[in-house]
């Protein structure tokens, strides 16, 4: 009996409850996926590749960041071990969901296939039951956007643009997939809840080629574009700090060479203007 992607979450839950589906074949498939992830994350995955525009970057909300990543990659801030570990177990959770979907009897194809839009390449996660699927692990806060279907209106990391690019590129793939539908399969990594968030990307697909060509031209320019986000007030202190998107950017020091970092109990705070010196430890670089 052919399964529908609309029952995917419920069917995966049944596998987790031990109601059949997981066997030696799926175990081997999951082990191979995870071995590849360990090799990539912990050994560097072979020779470093030349900086190039990728499909996964098309949704980057700050074009200046995208320009830096292509033209000045050596200025990227090195990731601390804690962040690298976070990315590693996020990848492992995504591997697990692919294997669980297979065990649940759903048709899973095209895993990590290379796709292309106007010469820009990338790798989609998979196609499940004929729908291009991007698998995400998310915090409980971010999970709510997927669960409520509100990501299109609040998408700080450009996930809509990314997935729509894979849907568009999938039209030329050997793996059959719906020409405009795509879905996020998401796990709340804090409590294990799953959701499927599906979209019709018709509006995004209509201008996909033009959008990609514009980004290709942008990264060829001699100078970076304007900043995508402005600093925000740090309470009533008179200080100005980086917002959420810029705080996580690997190129924030390129944008703000005089940036100062202060360690609060809630985490680092990056100040672009200091009118009142914070009474916390400042990281000296």
Q: Which pLDDT belongs to residue 197? A: 98
Q: Which CATH class is domain 5-219?
A: alpha beta
Q: What is the pLDDT of residues 24-64, one digit of tens each?
A: 999 999 999 999 999 988 986 555 567 889 998 888 889 99
CA distance linking residue 179 with residue 132, whole number of Å = 9
Report the percent of the chain where pLDDT is more than 70.
Answer: 98
CA 143 to chain centre: 13
Position with higher pLDDT, 80 vs 106? 106
Report strand pairing: 267-273 vs 281-283. Answer: unpaired
Q: How confident is the model at residue 22 (pLDDT cuts 50, 70, 90)?
A: very high
250-260 pLDDT, tens per residue?
999 999 999 99
Q: Residue 10: pLDDT above 70?
A: yes
Domain extent listing, the chain: 5-219, 232-283
Structural tokens at position 140: 């409980």
| 260-264/267-273 β-pairing | antiparallel
Angle at 184 between CA 195 and CA 50, to 5 degrees: 140
Q: What is the pLDDT of residues 185-229, one digit of tens each?
A: 999 999 999 999 999 999 999 999 999 999 999 999 999 999 999
Closest CA to 273 of 245, 246, 237, 223: 237
Average pLDDT over residues 229-248: 94
């Amino acid at each position: 009996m052919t399964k529908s992607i609309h029952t995917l979450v419920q069917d995966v839950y049944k596998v987790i409850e031990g109601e059949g589906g997981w066997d030696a074949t799926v175990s081997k498939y999951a082990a191979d996926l995870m071995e590849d992830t360990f090799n990539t994350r912990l050994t560097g995955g072979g020779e470093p590749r030349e900086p190039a525009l990728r499909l996964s970057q098309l949704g980057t909300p700050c074009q200046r960041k995208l320009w830096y990543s292509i033209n000045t990659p050596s200025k990227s801030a090195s990731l601390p071990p804690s962040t690298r570990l976070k990315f590693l177990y996020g990848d492992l959770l995504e591997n697990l969901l692919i294997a669980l979907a297979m065990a649940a009897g759903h048709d899973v194809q095209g895993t990590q296939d290379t796709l292309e839009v106007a010469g820009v390449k990338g790798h989609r996660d998979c196609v499940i039951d004929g729908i291009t699927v991007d698998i995400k692990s998310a915090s409980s806060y971010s999970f709510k956007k997927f669960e409520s279907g509100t990501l299109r209106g609040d998408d700080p990391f450009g996930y809509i643009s990314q997935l729509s690019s894979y849907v568009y590129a999938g039209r030329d793939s050997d793996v059959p997939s719906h020409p405009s539908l795509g879905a996020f399969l998401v796990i709340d990594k804090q409590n294990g809840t799953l959701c499927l968030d599906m979209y019709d990307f018709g509006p995004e697909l209509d201008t996909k080629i033009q959008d990609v060509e514009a980004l290709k031209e942008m990264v060829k320019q001699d100078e970076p574009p304007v900043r995508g986000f402005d600093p925000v007030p740090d309470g009533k202190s008179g200080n100005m700090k980086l917002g959420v998107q810029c705080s996580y950017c690997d190129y924030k020091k390129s944008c703000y060479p005089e940036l100062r970092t202060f360690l609060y109990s809630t985490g680092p705070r990056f100040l672009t203007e200091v009118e009142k010196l914070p009474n916390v430890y400042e990281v000296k670089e």
